Amino acid sequence: MTVTAPAVDVTAAREFVDRHVIGEADAWDRQERIPEAVLDAVSAAGMWAPFLSPEVGGSGLSWRAFGQLHEEFGRGCSSLRSLLTVHSMAAWTVMRWGSSALQAEWLPRFATGEALGAVCMTEPQAGSDTAGFDTRATRSADGWRLSGVKTWITGALRADVFLVYARNRHGLAAYLVPRDSAGLSVEPVPDPLGTRASMIGTVRLDDVRVAPDALVGPESFLSGAVLTGMLDIGRLSVAAGSLGILQGCLDACATYTTERTVGGTRLRDLQLIRAKVSDMVTDAAAARLLVTQAAELKDAGDPETIMATWIAKYFASVAAARHAREAVQVHGAHGMSSRFPVARLYRDAKVMEIIEGSTELQQLTIADSAYQR
């Protein structure tokens, strides 16, 4: 049965962000939470996982349009965009690797936002180093039993279901674990530097029992493909979201330097200011081309999309952090005030250099491509 989904495109995303997000993001940042009414509005707009097929309630959105949508949300609020990111990662993984039973149960709910997903990877002593993960999954008579601790989990305080990466007898594998599972508990990670409203938490699994088909993908060495594909979706979102931060900085600086004067001269007419804005314009254009290329390769099913997404995320996140710093400088003392968005953009941009592969890890990985020719 085909479900009619709302029309989703870049224009709809831009209008949604301008109407529901731009004026409220700083308040959410202070409250460290996105209001439930806003999450409901995202659901009504069909923007949680629009790449899912119309048969399950999605829009069949292309990856190029997905990138444009996440750029707009990044422009407005990286915390909200981060919730879309982890939800997309969970939804894509079930779409690509889930059993028919898991797909029937969860994909329609993911498409409509009835159920929100989060991804549990990072651990207290291992960070994102999967070789050091201690979370374990063991077979039982009625399915699987999971034990371990995951932390810095985006959306943990709100998610309805978690995609948990745990080590079984064959290696690392993914399991879909409902929030109401006995033995699963969540506690907040307070006062983060950036993406403060993304409801980050620590997830504890104490002998949590799940059904046999909770395993998403193969129970073998091939399970690595599940993780690779999921992270690739997350990286595309973060690349596009970093571009959105850069665009937000550019918009804020254009407005501020037009309105602000010094010695009777508008800031926008000063050569030093114009040089900074010129660099923002140029790097935003370059980042947009890189994100578009990565997404179009993904639409074409070209395996080169993996490296292209690494490159797009690396360039866009580093550029966002650099220009967010310059945006604060352009605003002077006002740049340190929560009354202006650049303070939040600055903190959020730093996060983009860490998540979905740190800048240093990306440098190592991208360099490999030069030696494979």
Q: Which amino acid is present at 131?
A: A
Cβ 154 vs Cβ 118: under 8 Å: yes
Which residue from 111, 55, 93, 301 is spatially nearest to 214, judged by alpha carbons? 93
Q: How many CB atoms lie within 10 A of CB 139?
A: 13
36 belongs to the catalytic site: no
Report DSSP state, residue 141: T
Compute the distance between CA of residue 334 and CA of residue 313 in angstroms, rounded to an integer: 29
Q: How many CB atoms lie within 10 A of CB 218?
A: 14
Phi then psi for residue 34, to 5 deg, are -90, 125
Q: What angle is formed at CA 85 by the lines to CA 81 and CA 86, rounded to 5 degrees?
A: 125
Cβ 234 vs Cβ 85: under 8 Å: yes
Selected catalytic residue, list 71, 123, 353, 356: 356
User: Active-site residue numbers?
Assistant: 356
